[in-house]
């Protein structure tokens, strides 16, 4: 993910009527006619127009960066997004450099397409989290029992891999969640021990409430800088236990194990897999993840994987499902988030155009593979 791509970022210097959901084009086979002749002819061929997995909504961002001189005048990403009480809620990150202090703003939408910023000021600042040394980035959010629980990760040094931990900040005040956020006194998930696959960073969490408690999927980074996807469980959302396969007893999988690792050699995701966005459906588990084929993470794409138990995953045969060029004019995309509502995946993407980022929308409304 971009937040973990310091080497690249430093070199780069780093709404209105509700719009209907964009329909997915139908595949229309085109038969090549047989030329009448007395001679034998070749078998007719069938061609079809390829259909992208995600349909990008227009050419303009749905949420823009701030005006010059403001806290978010260069970069903004979708942070944490949820659909609750008839409305989409986005707790977006805004920042002016990387690595540099980041703040969290609040925007809402009735349809996922047209968004309204709720005030010009951030609702959470990095300085509100005592253990966030350089920055804190919103990544996942839950609403439960009258309270918001926002899960974030920190960025703690200017080197890569940086030290990063996962934390939680809550708000239980009636009305819009604009003030009075209270961080937990300590991180809720830390990197692993020396020599473990996630010894340097735990970041980009995605948290779900299930019938058995809470499940967190997160990115883990080892000393080599390689990223993999881990899982942790909790009964209360505060105390977490990382998934550990007892069959693996050697480093780097002594204390815990990733549930999703990079693809095979020469695959589009052969180097890194990270930034998981996971949903539990009636047919099993669905994960959108980001991958890259080179160790520097210079070309990011998105993939899809499915699972019956949330631990063992199978890649979608049509991967990758999203790439930078899907956004008109973008040279890259960075942070992403997604909401699954009424069978439609709303994908929110931080698109990078001219070394500044804004938030774009893409949707998928066909049957989930």
Q: Which fold has domain 2-14+75-364?
A: Tachylectin-2; Chain A (2.115.10)
Q: Supply the pTM of this predicted model.
A: 0.86
Nearest residue to 130 via CA among 84, 165, 95, 94: 165
Q: What is the average pLDDT score of the chain?
A: 88
When pLDDT is averaged across residues 188-201 and rounded to a whole number, the result is 97
pLDDT of 33 over the 90 cut: no
User: Could you read off the pLDDT of 205-221 as tens digits, one per residue?
Assistant: 999 999 999 999 999 99
Nearest residue to 162 via CA among 215, 254, 207, 100: 100
Q: Say what the pLDDT of residue 212 is.
A: 93
Nearest residue to 223 via CA among 276, 133, 160, 300: 160
More confident residue, 39 or 319: 319
Q: Where are the domains of the chain?
A: 2-14+75-364
């Amino acid at each position: 993910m971009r937040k973990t791509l310091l080497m690249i970022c430093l070199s780069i210097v780093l709404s209105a009527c509700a719009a209907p959901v964009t329909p997915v084009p139908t595949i229309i086979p085109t038969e090549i006619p047989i030329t009448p002749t007395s001679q034998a002819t070749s078998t007719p061929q069938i061609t079809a127009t390829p259909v992208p997995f995600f349909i990008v909504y227009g050419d303009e961002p749905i949420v823009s960066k701030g005006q010059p001189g403001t806290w978010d005048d260069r970069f903004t990403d979708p942070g944490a997004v949820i659909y609750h009480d008839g409305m989409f809620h986005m707790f977006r990150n805004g920042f002016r450099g990387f690595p540099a202090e980041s703040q969290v703003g609040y925007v809402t939408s009735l349809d996922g397409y047209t968004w309204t910023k709720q005030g010009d000021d951030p609702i959470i600042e990095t300085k509100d989290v005592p253990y966030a040394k350089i920055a804190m980035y919103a990544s996942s959010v839950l609403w439960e029992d009258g309270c918001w629980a926002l899960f974030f990760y920190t960025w703690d040094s200017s080197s890569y891999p940086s030290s990063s931990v996962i934390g939680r900040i809550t708000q239980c005040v009636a009305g819009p969640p604009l003030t009075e956020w209270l961080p937990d006194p300590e991180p809720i998930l830390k990197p692993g021990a020396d020599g473990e696959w996630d010894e340097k960073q735990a970041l980009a969490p995605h948290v779900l409430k299930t019938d058995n408690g809470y499940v967190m999927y997160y990115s883990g980074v080892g000393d080599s800088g390689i990223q993999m996807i881990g899982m942790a469980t909790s009964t209360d959302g505060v105390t977490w236990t990382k998934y550990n396969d007892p069959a693996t007893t050697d480093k780097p999988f002594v204390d815990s194990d990733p549930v999703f690792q990079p693809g095979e050699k020469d695959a589009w995701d052969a180097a890194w897999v990270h930034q998981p966005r996971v949903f539990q459906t009636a047919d099993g588990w669905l994960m959108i993840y980001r991958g890259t084929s080179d160790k520097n993470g210079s070309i990011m794409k998105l993939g899809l994987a499915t699972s019956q138990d949330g631990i063992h995953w199978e890649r979608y045969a049509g991967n990758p499902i999203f790439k930078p060029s899907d956004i008109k004019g973008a040279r890259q995309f960075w942070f992403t988030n997604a909401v699954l509502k009424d069978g439609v995946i709303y994908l929110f993407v931080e698109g990078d155009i001219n070394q500044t980022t804004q938030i774009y929308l893409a949707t998928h409304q066909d049957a989930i593979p």
